[in-house]
Chain A
Amino acid sequence: MLEVSNLEVKLSPFTLRDISFTVSEGEFFLILGPSGAGKTVLLETLAGIHYPRRGKILLRGEDITFVPPEKRPIGIVYQDYALFPHLTVEENIRYALRFRRREANLSWRKLVDFLGIGHLLSRYPDTLSGGEKQRVALARALAASPRLLLLDEPLSALDPNLRGEVGGELMRLNRELGLTVIMVTHDFSEVFSYGKRVAVLFGGRLAQVGTPGEVFRKPASLEVAKFVGMENLIPLEREGSSWLLLGRRVNFVQNFPEEKFFAGARPEDVRVSRFPLPFPYSWEGEVMGMVNTGGMFKVEVKVGVIKLKAYLTGHQVVEEGLRAGEKVYIGFAAEHLCLVKA
């Protein structure tokens, strides 16, 4: 549906480089990255607001790289909604109909019903709540009948209790209208909830494109690993022809003797027990501390000079009788180990 290849965008003082990815028809695609990674610039380039210096954008096989935004069937909803403050909700939603009357395939009234904003039509944007603004901005973008909808951090400005509701609505739009969606987020917890595929953007470059599972369990680089919450990152040591992870032999990196590697394990995959663990990667250590993170306990265990982190339920903490200063075993199964290039 959308094919982006070797895109380079220079927007002082910022550059996007080597951006290549594809999005299929009807997909809910995510772009994940920290603030300042260039996510919004990327969306704006797809929308035609900035033109790239290099590279191509194909939409359904048609080259739209230098097509102006008003001629592209692509809608955008910004994080701050960017509603026209001098127009009522109805005028905002019908704005596109002044220019694209013939193209509308879903009447604006149906959209209003679909999003449940019929009671807001005569109001001005500055009198709306965050969730209402969000729906109006969505309706306005959809009234132009886009083939592709770009969402720039649509949930981050909402109250936490509204996020789930609005997120569900976005999924419904994607599912029921068959709309292709690209959503930008800096919150990696949103990735599992919404997207089937995710692109990770760092410093203007695509660091990885894959399923949420791949990005979370097999991050392509150290910075991606840190960003997606892989909190246990331990440098591997070389011993002869093999590699050691805190003294335990790791066999499957022998083919890459010249590279420097880190071993990574997600804290939710790490187990802590007062008894020896049946894992190839397990060590004896000392509990340094426990923090209640709301539902889960983050337990820190010192092994030699390295601190390993594990997430345990309150029930597990009580069952194991874990206390600071206590000697425990900590480890994880072989399938939970990932190797990250430094």
Chain B
Amino acid sequence: MFFLLYPLLHAFWVTNPSILAQTCRDREVINSLLTSFKTASAATSIATVTGVPFAYLLARREFKGKKIVEGLIDLPVVIPHTVAGIILLMATSPYTWLGSFLKRAGLDFVGTCTGITIAMLFVSFPFLLNAARDAFAGVPVRLEFVARTLGAGPLAVFFTVTLPLAWRGILTGMILTWARAVSEFGAVIILAYHPRTAPILIYERFETYGLAYAQPIAVLLLLVSLFVFVLARLVAGGKDSRAGSQQPGS
């Protein structure tokens, strides 16, 4: 706990409140934070919409090559994020078929919010997929069977039984995905340096002006992230304590 808390508390302790207040009014800082949150939210939304059905498939169906698919899902977690940035840059370069196709479709990755979102999505997708898959796997399949015998079709079963019991786990996955996306630096700096996200602005100020100027932005990012994180946890932990915490077969 000391190891976790000391650097955090120390950062708050040594930050000059007047500089922090000044930082809050700095347009560049505000924009970088907005860029971070906007792109992280976009990445989380895309991950949720596409990842939840896929996670359900992984939790409920057996198919050939499932183990390989599951291994591939975790790949972005284990490769260095600069490497992730490099391979994304290579794949989406306008000189490749995919890059030229996307450019013609109006999607430009280098130096755009789209690029940032893609980099964030690539590195944070596994968090959502794994959390949602575990959440679905924790819903006893018998509950779905019984619901079918009571007249509910597969889609109705998903929305009246499976999702209400798995949403807490999925929300946890969304929070982790969002947090991972906000904190992403390596892949983003390579694929899309501009517009600057908060971690990139912190790095740039640190490189150009030194620690004293990077620190207030870091603390600000920390505060806002903590606020969002705690809020989301409260939503996930409150309300109906039964959903998502049932014992298999109960």
Contacts and interface: CB of A to CB of B under 8 A. Distances in A.
B142 A140 contact: no
A85 B242 contact: yes
B151 A96 contact: yes
B149 A47 contact: yes
A47 B152 CA distance: 13
Nearest to A128: B250
Nearest to A44: B145
B246 A86 contact: yes
- Size range of the chain A interface in the assembly: 20 to 34
B151 A70 contact: yes
Contact of A75 (B62, B149, B243, B249): B149
B150 interface: yes
A86 B242 contact: yes
B242 A82 contact: no
A95 B246 CA distance: 18
Contact of A144 (B62, B151, B165, B249): B151
Nearest to A95: B150
Contacts of A143: 150
A32 B156 CA distance: 34
B149 A69 contact: yes
Interface residues of B, number: 25
B161 interface: yes
Contact of B145 (A69, A83, A85): A69
Given A70-B151, A75-B149, A126 B142 contact: no
B247 to A, nearest CB: 8
Interface in A64-83: 68-70, 72, 74-76, 78, 80, 82-83
Interface in A46-66: 47-49
A131 to B, nearest CB: 15
A124 B242 CA distance: 9
Interface string B225-244: 00000000000000010110
A144 B150 CA distance: 6
Contacts of A74: 149
Nearest to A72: B149
Contacts of B242: 85-86, 124, 126
Interface string B133-163: 0000000101101111111110010001100
Contacts of A124: 242
B142 A86 contact: no
B11 to A, nearest CB: 41
A76 to B, nearest CB: 5
A68 B145 CA distance: 11
B150 A96 contact: yes
Interface string B115-149: 00000000000000000000000001011011111
Contacts of B148: 48-49, 68-70
A125 interface: yes
B164 interface: yes
A144 B149 contact: yes
Contact of B156 (A69, A80, A86, A99): A99
Contacts of B243: 85-86
Interface string A192-213: 0000000000000000000000
B149 A99 contact: no
Contacts of A96: 150-151
Nearest to B143: A82
Contacts of B142: 78, 80, 82
A98 interface: yes
Interface in A231-266: none
A150 to B, nearest CB: 8
Contacts of B140: 82
A47 B34 CA distance: 54
B147 A126 contact: no
Contacts of A80: 142, 249-250
Given A44-B145, A47-B145, A86 B164 contact: yes
A297 interface: no
Interface string B60-95: 001000000000000000000000000000000000
Given A80-B142, A99-B156, A140 B250 contact: no
Contacts of B147: 84, 95
B143 A76 contact: no
Contacts of B149: 47-49, 69-70, 72, 74-76, 141, 144, 146
22 contacts: A48-B149, A70-B151, A70-B152, A74-B149, A76-B149, A82-B140, A82-B145, A82-B146, A84-B147, A85-B243, A86-B164, A86-B240, A86-B243, A95-B160, A98-B151, A98-B152, A98-B160, A99-B151, A100-B150, A126-B246, A140-B146, A141-B150
The 10 closest A-B pairs by CB, nearest first: A99-B151, A85-B246, A69-B148, A96-B150, A80-B249, A100-B151, A82-B142, A86-B243, A82-B146, A69-B149
Interface of A: 12, 44, 47-49, 68-70, 72, 74-76, 78, 80, 82-86, 95-96, 98-100, 124-126, 140-141, 143-144, 146
Given A49-B145, A95-B150, A99-B151, 14 more contacts: A44-B145, A47-B149, A48-B148, A48-B149, A70-B150, A70-B153, A80-B249, A84-B161, A85-B165, A95-B147, A99-B150, A99-B152, A124-B242, A140-B146
